[in-house]
Amino acid sequence: MHNEPEVAIVTGGAGGIGEAAARAIARRGAHVAVADLRPAAAEEAAARLQAEALNVVPVTVDVSSEASVRAMVATVLGRWGRIDILVNNAGVESSKVFLEIGLEEYEQVMRVNTTGVWLCCQAVIPTMLRQGSGCIVNVSSVAGQRGGGLLGTAAYSTSKGAVIALTKALAREFAKSGIRVNAVSPSLTMTDFAQRQLDRLTAGTLERVIAMTPIGRVGQAAEIAAVIDFLTSDQASFIAGHVLNVDGGTAM
């Protein structure tokens, strides 16, 4: 083990699950880059965490752009010299039914939710290989296992299912090099992201989702973050290629 603090990147870090994950990881002493498409939102989230005496910095990134992703990684390496943890949380929602989604919208969902994970992993893994260690957690969704069915529909579930396959492929390829890759698979979690989805849908959708959830409520961002924190910690040192459902029993 190295003696310096761990360094983490959390994409989509300016709120919801991302901000909660950044908080949880920073609380154990890590330096965390709160990376988000929205510069002002990233700065506000970083300020909230800094007010808790946590060592975080805001970074702007568009995960669908290879150049932007590589610039983010260069910024983090320039500041701290290493990257130990990557949490791929950035994503976009999509709740249109299959026959109403045009190719352009489908490709945008895939570009952010799947290609974004691909690009971030491809930019970070060379550093982790040089270090001989690293940990990646990809945020998928129960929609990627069930084919949608709660809020996300065909495009969203396709993008999140691909994240699960990519997680396993990377774990298989890099585990022997000391890099652990896992995924978390939440169900509906009350964030601004989820609220935007609910606002577009018919009244009563939230109640129907709760009725389909064995635990009988929706998730909280801190509950997902606690599992991300665990998977990125030494306590999870023998876990690789796993998809951990944090879903109130929804996927079973």
Which amino acids are annotated catalytic? 156
Question: Three-state secondary structure along the chain?
Answer: CCCCCCEEEEECCCCHHHHHHHHHHHHCCCEEEEEECCHHHHHHHHHHHHCCCCCEEEEECCCCCHHHHHHHHHHHHHHHCCCCEEEECCCCCCCCCHHHCCHHHHHHHHHHHHHHHHHHHHHHHHHHHHHCCEEEEEECCCHHHHCCCCCCCHHHHHHHHHHHHHHHHHHHHHHHHCEEEEEEEECCECCHHHHHHHHHCCCCHHHHHHHHCCCCCCECHHHHHHHHHHHCCHHHCCCCCCEEEECCCCCC
The position carrying tokens 């299959």 is: 98
Instruction: Give 244's contacts (C-beta < 8 A, 6+ positions apart).
Output: 182, 183, 184, 185, 227, 231
